[in-house]
Structure 1
């Protein structure tokens, strides 16, 4: 039997310390996305070779060994950032080849002024309650259950 996938959106009320931790998570995710996008573009423009999702995953591993502060945030969230870039490339290629009816622009670099988000795939309970925890973070309060 397959597992049901569910997304939860909601408002979160954070303390000052938690705001700093969330900003660190968002900043690291944006940094990884931009570095992987730059890696893919540089490799294409210099060697005319395309990068596969595996190449980008290996680059993420190299970045984490090179930059120790990337290990302070949730690893799965950074991997999801890489997968988001893979999905953006796939959607763009599909729109060029005609597999997708609408036109999609190529992936762009993320900016600090844009909407901030992070995906957590492991370490969460089945439902977000009034008092919840996310991986590598403290307890925070929220309103509603997200259902």
Structure 2
């Protein structure tokens, strides 16, 4: 059974900067891939998933070196989110075409996956890839295996992990 826990994070200033940079990079990659998919769709007038060369986050790294500074799994999850939104649209057009992500959205977030213990909770701190340990308010004991983690920020600059 899958279960989600949500805890409040208390990152340092440099960790906050990293989170904001990651939110921006994830949004940037999502929008770039959506832009390219729209172009591919208009060029072919077919479902772009029909064995066409679809963009990946790695394609943008040589052109935009700031993408190398953030967790690659967060960029890969942005690609998976776009694929899911695109497939939902083609399955049921009433869902609506995928929209570009806005910088001024109510909640910025990114998701990363746990590979070989890259995400773990120890001593009221959570270890995240490329950033290390971040303090958190653990209001209940955690039980189970961590599959992935989503870091989010509210408009009031409060950080959470689930």
* Helix, strand or coil at the partner of 1:65: coil
| Counterparts in 2 of 1:70 and 1:142: CA distance versus 1, 3 Å | same
Aligned to 2:16: 19
Which of 35, 38, 52 is 1:38 aligned to?
35
Comparing both structures, which one devotes a greater share of its residues to strand? 2
TM-score with structure 1 setting the length: 0.80
| Counterparts in 2 of 1:128 and 1:6: CA distance versus 1, 3 Å | farther
Q: 1:7 Cα shift?
A: 4.3
Comparing both structures, which one devotes a greater share of its residues to helix? 1
Residue by residue, what CA displacement relative to the aligned partner does 1:40-81 show, whole Å, maximum 9, x if unpaired?
A: 00111233243339833x442211222221111111110010
Aligned to 1:68: 65
Structure 2 unaligned residues grouped into runs of 5+: 143-162
Q: Runs of at least 4 residues of structure 1 off by over 3 A?
A: 4-8, 53-56
Q: Does 1:116 align with 2:115?
A: no
Note the aligned Cα RMSD (angstroms): 2.4
Give aligned pairs, total.
136
Residue by residue, what CA displacement relative to the aligned partner does 1:84-121 show, whole Å, maximum 9, x if unpaired?
A: 0011111222223xxxxxx4111100011111111110
TM-score with structure 2 setting the length: 0.73
Structure 1 unaligned residues grouped into runs of 5+: 97-102
